[in-house]
Chain A
């Protein structure tokens, strides 16, 4: 059961009156800030900027694939685009966006004044900037940006130019930032909760982030270890992954995917948390099966450590290994199914309305489930051997990460924007944004299932004529989806500048502390005295 039903407004009606000093003025506010709201805002704007950068690369890819033959880019540059698009979206857009949500929401939802380590919080954010510059700057060095795919597989990655070193350094910095952010989130949740806020009263968003932060601390050092070894293979004469020196490129795949599969859940568990806050608010019912949602989230996180081999069924593992990874992967459908069941049960017989956040949450539920099902298809070893490295895989993970993670982010921003800014967004424009995103996304990625089943390989700039028609539709869909995000940008900026005043509890069914205990707009410092949760 979430906290709200156990709480009452205790000593927080005076936040406005006590907010004697607001934020400092000028650019130094943002450089030196230790305020969790400021840092959350910076994370979200950084993530949106990187989303536009990575999205522009995606549109370049889709423009090239609009018709057969080489249109705009040479194959090397095309591969650089797919590589950096993946890295930017994973490490620059999706992950920082969720950290932005965590910064804004975790302290407020547990009744804390701020994060446990505000200065480290500032540092975690500002590390992102040099990492992003290194990643983008790698396009400008001789040989162009890394072109091995975001998975940085050897031997190709060992043979490329200095852009790879820049990428490796960027990954190290991003990893350090993620680990510091995770330490901050865990220590805040475990130590800074308001009196009476027991773990099982925390909103589900906080729970999903607690589990995600543990995942990050467990797997980011593994990625850091892998890329460190790539670096020493490239420059210091080691042969960890270099077959010419007795190393094993396949070993890199094992290490990378031991990080890589939990990374998928790092990008989706906070989305589960956001959706678990939105659906009850607009169904005007408590979340169905709160405890089972917590246990399912933890189960998914634990299982994510034993399924990495399903990314590499084609490398020649023993049949027993393939079978283990196949069945372990299918097992993840059980806790995920619990979650989908609970979300549907939350909506069942609810007094539902469909404002923009709810539209994105329901869109998430429908489309993420499709992505989950295609994941089950790919978990089947003989099927995966056929579909490996085809566009079916591309369709699958975009259903998980775009209509899953990104739709939850967009829905979450519409949901909390009134609370964050004190202004209400344009509902009509929000709905247009949702439907254009929904149509554009499905037009872009559903045909890729057909392309993959027909045998079109991924990461190629040219293709056989038989794939032309679905590629054309996919590219049209991608441009509709991509350009519709400019509507979102316009809506957010106009909300901040001139939106109508929002109510303290803008959404009738919202029940976490930021809605029930804090005014709108939020004061710069919240919870002057700690709330007591009954």
Chain B
């Protein structure tokens, strides 16, 4: 028997958290590059 399953609410919250964090990471990466492309 596997460990207890997270509830649907937990799964939904986890996916939303992950998407937000991934967007933050991609945003920082693009901002660093865009800053130097635009302003040198």
Could you tell me which A residues sit within 8 Å of B by CB distance?
18-21, 112-114, 116-117, 179, 182-184, 186-188, 190-192, 217-218, 220-222, 224-226, 228-229, 240, 246, 251, 255, 525-530
Separation in Å of the B37 CB from the closest CB of chain A? 9
Docked CA distance A183–B26 (Å): 12
Using a CB-CB cutoff of 8 Å, which residues 1-40 of chain B contact chain A? 1-6, 10, 13-14, 17-18, 21-22, 24-26, 28-29, 32-33, 36, 40
Instruction: Tell me whether A221 and B3 are in contact (CB under 8 A).
Output: no
* The one of B5, B14, B24 that contacts A117, using a Cβ cutoff of 8 Å: B14
* The one of B1, B4, B18 that contacts A116, using a Cβ cutoff of 8 Å: B18
Instruction: Tell me whether B17 and A186 are in contact (CB under 8 A).
Output: yes
A217-B28, A229-B36 given; 16 more Cβ-contact pairs under 8 Å = A112-B6, A113-B2, A182-B21, A184-B18, A187-B17, A187-B18, A190-B17, A192-B10, A217-B21, A218-B24, A221-B29, A221-B32, A224-B29, A225-B28, A527-B4, A528-B1
Instruction: Tell me whether B36 and A217 are in contact (CB under 8 A).
Output: no
* The one of B3, B10, B21 that contacts A114, using a Cβ cutoff of 8 Å: B3
Docked CA distance A187–B33 (Å): 27
Instruction: Tell me whether B13 and A191 are in contact (CB under 8 A).
Output: yes
Docked CA distance A222–B32 (Å): 6
A117-B18, A190-B17 are known contacts. Are A525 and B32 too (CB-CB below 8 A)? no
* The one of A21, A187, A190, A527 that contacts B3, using a Cβ cutoff of 8 Å: A527
Chain B neighbourhood of A528, CB < 8 A: 1, 3-4
Docked CA distance A240–B24 (Å): 24
Docked CA distance A186–B6 (Å): 15
Instruction: Tell me whether A228 and B14 are in contact (CB under 8 A).
Output: no
Number of cross-chain contacts by CB at 8 Å: 83
Docked CA distance A251–B32 (Å): 12
The residue in chain B whose Cβ has the minimal distance to the Cβ of A224 is B29
A116-B14, A187-B17 are known contacts. Are A220 and B4 too (CB-CB below 8 A)? no
Q: Shortest 8 CB-CB distances between A and B: which pairs?
A: A113-B3, A225-B32, A221-B29, A221-B28, A116-B14, A191-B14, A187-B17, A187-B14
Q: What are 6 inter-chain pairs, A to B, with CB distance below 8 A?
A: A19-B1, A191-B6, A221-B25, A228-B29, A229-B36, A525-B2
Main secondary structure of the interface of B (DSSP, over half): helix
Separation in Å of the B29 CB from the closest CB of chain A? 4
A183-B18, A187-B18, A192-B10 are known contacts. Are A529 and B28 too (CB-CB below 8 A)? no
Separation in Å of the A14 CB from the closest CB of chain B? 10
Instruction: Tell me whether B24 and A217 are in contact (CB under 8 A).
Output: yes
* The one of A20, A21, A113, A240 that contacts B36, using a Cβ cutoff of 8 Å: A240
Instruction: Tell me whether A18 and B25 are in contact (CB under 8 A).
Output: no
Docked CA distance A182–B17 (Å): 12
The residue in chain B whose Cβ has the minimal distance to the Cβ of A213 is B21
The residue in chain B whose Cβ has the minimal distance to the Cβ of A527 is B3
The residue in chain A whose Cβ has the minimal distance to the Cβ of B26 is A221
Could you tell me which B residues sit within 8 Å of A by CB distance?
1-6, 10, 13-14, 17-18, 21-22, 24-26, 28-29, 32-33, 36, 40
Main secondary structure of the interface of A (DSSP, over half): helix
Chain A neighbourhood of B21, CB < 8 A: 182-183, 186-187, 217
The residue in chain A whose Cβ has the minimal distance to the Cβ of B3 is A113
Docked CA distance A184–B40 (Å): 35
Instruction: Tell me whether A220 and B33 are in contact (CB under 8 A).
Output: no
Instruction: Tell me whether B4 and A225 are in contact (CB under 8 A).
Output: no
Instruction: Tell me whether B6 and A220 are in contact (CB under 8 A).
Output: no
The residue in chain B whose Cβ has the minimal distance to the Cβ of A21 is B1
Chain B neighbourhood of A228, CB < 8 A: 29, 33
* The one of A21, A116, A221 that contacts B6, using a Cβ cutoff of 8 Å: A116
Instruction: Tell me whether B25 and A220 are in contact (CB under 8 A).
Output: yes
Chain B neighbourhood of A117, CB < 8 A: 14, 18
Separation in Å of the A194 CB from the closest CB of chain B? 9
The interface centre, meaning the residue of B3, B28, B32 with most chain A CB atoms within 10 A of its CB, is B3
Docked CA distance A530–B33 (Å): 44
Docked CA distance A114–B10 (Å): 13
The residue in chain B whose Cβ has the minimal distance to the Cβ of A241 is B36
Docked CA distance A114–B26 (Å): 26
* The one of A21, A179, A191, A246 that contacts B17, using a Cβ cutoff of 8 Å: A191
Chain A neighbourhood of B1, CB < 8 A: 18-21, 525, 528
Separation in Å of the B4 CB from the closest CB of chain A? 5
Docked CA distance A113–B11 (Å): 13
Separation in Å of the A292 CB from the closest CB of chain B? 27
The residue in chain B whose Cβ has the minimal distance to the Cβ of A182 is B21
Docked CA distance A190–B14 (Å): 8
Docked CA distance A20–B3 (Å): 11
Chain B neighbourhood of A190, CB < 8 A: 13, 17
Separation in Å of the B8 CB from the closest CB of chain A? 12
Separation in Å of the B22 CB from the closest CB of chain A? 6
Separation in Å of the B24 CB from the closest CB of chain A? 6
Chain B neighbourhood of A191, CB < 8 A: 6, 10, 13-14, 17
